[in-house]
Amino acid sequence: MDTITAADVVVTSPGRNYVSLKITTSDGVVGWGDATLNGRELAVASYLRDHVAPLLIGRDAARIEDTWQYLYRGAYWRRGPVTMTAIGAVDVALWDIKGKTCGQPVYQLLGGAVRDRILSYTHASGWEVSQLLDAIDEKRALGFRAIRAQSGVPGLDTVYGVTKSGSYEPAGRGTAPDEEVWDTEAYLRHAPVAMAAAREHAGPELKLLHDAHHRLTPIQAARLGKALEPVDLYWLEDVTPAENQEVLRRIRQHTTVPLAIGEVFSTIWEFQQLITEQLIDFVRAAVSHAGGISHLRRIAALAEVWQVRLAPHGPSDVSPVAMGAALHLGLATPNHAIQEYMGHPELAGEVFRHAWSYADGHLHPGDAPGIGVEVDEAAAARFPYQPAYLPVARRRDGSVTDW
């Protein structure tokens, strides 16, 4: 039996913070998992170091599902992003080990490829609409066939997904969150204008996506959805906070715009009504935040029954390890639609070596045994953790709203 002999947490910050879990077995096999939770990295690192790692020592590395059940049901206190990201890191690391032990890429262990390559989308943004259109052209020149478009909003100094200069990274370094002023009415006036300009500029073929990032009430979301129907979006994302899954019913009554929800969700139970009542079209959970490959494949299987498709979250704060895991799952999952690929900081390339690759608007996990992503621990040590927080949004009256 190949038993777990060590479970170590590697916190590093090559351009942004990442938390990786390294599991080592008695046969000398090393598996890696991603435990990064943007703005709460140390909470997951502690959950792993203080409460999970000691329990893993001596366990059979091959028993992935038993370990998942042990960490989920055995914890008593369950669900939530910290717990599920910790479990996700263990799960991906154990799949990595199993693949390496069998000499197979993980997608082969999941039933083999159902597609040759995975459609991907990336981000294009610009404070002014003209800058957004230029950014779309730049990303199309890189081969992307699907692009998320985000623009500034007249009257606001900060807007989700856009910077006035340089590249966009959501979490600001510092010991407290930046605070941003948000004005939904200004956004609702401008978003249809910016998205229509993007569609006019890009032509009918390009898959255009837009992220409303949890900020609208259901009726505001319905209004935006209707206004964007002529733009023919591939999806409108996070139109409203969806802890109350029921509210999506109201939006569905008013608009046919495809809806994508769930990057902040971490278990199948948060998707249960959204899927079984077809209140959404795309599931957005990340492999790292939703309990790993073992749990996200369950969510995908439920979604398949209701013709809902999987589109895993893939921003810069989903590390190259979890991107690799997402691609193995995506290659082997029939109802997988598209993989987000925002890209990672350039410095991350000094720490993470990956077999997955991008070409011509698509991604592929590669055929290295396991997940195919290795972490250079010596390089990781060169980039110590730096506190960083996602912003807090406030309305113009000073009350906190969803960022």
Which residues of this protein are in contact with ligand CS2, per CB under 6 A? 38, 170, 211, 213, 263, 315, 317, 340, 342, 390
Which two tokens mark 5? 């002999």
Query: From Mg ion, ligand CS2, none, which one binds at residue 315 (CB under 5 to 8 Å depending on kind)?
Result: ligand CS2
Given 123, 213, 214, 336, which residue is catalytic?
A: 213
Q: What is the C-alpha separation between 265 and 286, in angstroms, rounded?
A: 9
Sign of CA dihedral 163, 345, 285, 119: positive
Q: How near is the Cβ of 317 to ligand CS2 at its closest, in Å?
A: 5
Min dist CB 14 to ligand CS2, Å, is 17
Instruction: To the nearest 10°, report the CA torsion of 101, 107, 110, 111.
Output: -110
User: Which of ligand CS2, Mg ion, none does residue 374 bind (CB under 5 to 8 Å by kind)?
Assistant: none
Task: Show the tokens assigned to 122.
Answer: 């990336």
Kindly tell me which of 183 and 211 has the beta carbon lying closer to Mg ion: 211
Q: Identify the residue among 34, 183, 211, 317 touching Mg ion (CB under 5 A).
A: 211
Q: What angle do CA 61, 38, 341 make, to 5 degrees?
A: 80
SS3 125: strand
Give yes or no: 328 in active site: no
Q: Minimum Å distance from CB 314 to ligand CS2?
A: 7
- Strand 282-283 and strand 309-310: the pairing is parallel
Please indicate whether residue 160 is annotated as part of the active site: yes
- The window from 104-112, 214-222, 234-242, 303-311 that contacts Mg ion (CB under 5 A) reads 234-242
Judged by DSSP in three states, 201 sits in helix
The identity of residue 252, as a single letter, is R
Phi-psi region of 325 (alpha: psi -120 to 50; beta: other; left: phi over 0): alpha
* Matching residue, tokens 């506190």: 387
Closest distance of CB 342 from Mg ion, Å: 10
**Least spacing, CB of residue 100 vs ligand CS2, in Å:** 29
183 scored as a contact of Mg ion (CB under 5 A): no
Binding residues for Mg ion restricted to 243-302, rule: CB under 5 A = 263
DSSP state of 269: G
Q: Which stretch binds Mg ion (CB under 5 A): 9-17, 34-42, 207-215, 348-356?
A: 207-215
CA–CA gap between residue 205 and residue 199 (Å, rounded):
9
Cα 136 from chain centroid (whole Å): 21
- Integer Cα distance of 278 and 273 in angstroms: 8
Catalytic residue among 72, 107, 121, 160: 160
Q: Which of residues 211 and 317 has its CB atom nearest to Mg ion in the complex?
A: 211
Tell me which of ligand CS2, Mg ion, none is bound by residue 38, counting a contact when its beta carbon lies within the kind-specific cut-off of 5 to 8 angstroms.
Answer: ligand CS2
Q: How far is the CB of 203 from ligand CS2 (least distance, A)?
A: 24
Classify residue 153 as exposed, middle or buried by CB count within 10 Å of its CB (0-12, 13-18, 19+).
Answer: buried
- To the nearest whole angstrom, how small is the minimum distance from the Cβ of residue 149 to ligand CS2? 12
**Which option in Mg ion, ligand CS2, none does residue 41 bind, with CB closer than 5 to 8 A by kind?**
none
Choose between 211 and 374: whose C-beta lies nearer to Mg ion.
211
Q: Which is nearer to ligand CS2, 16 or 100 (CB)?
A: 16
Q: Are 48 and 84 in contact (CB under 8 A)?
A: no
Q: Which residue number, 25 or 122, has a Cβ lying nearer to Mg ion?
A: 122
Q: Specify the residue, 88 or 170, whose C-beta has the smaller distance to ligand CS2.
A: 170
67: tokens are: 């370990």
The binder of 170, among ligand CS2, Mg ion, none, by C-beta within 5 to 8 A per type, is ligand CS2
Yes or no: say if 97 and 67 are a contact pair by the CB < 8 Å rule: no
Residue 270 binding result from Mg ion, ligand CS2, none, given CB thresholds of 5 to 8 Å by partner type: none
In this complex, which beta carbon is closest to ligand CS2, that of residue 59 or of residue 214?
214
Alpha-carbon distances, residue 54 vs 4, 7, 47, 312 (angstroms)? 10, 8, 11, 30
Residues with catalytic annotation? 160, 213
Q: Site residues (CB under 5 A) for Mg ion?
A: 211, 237, 263
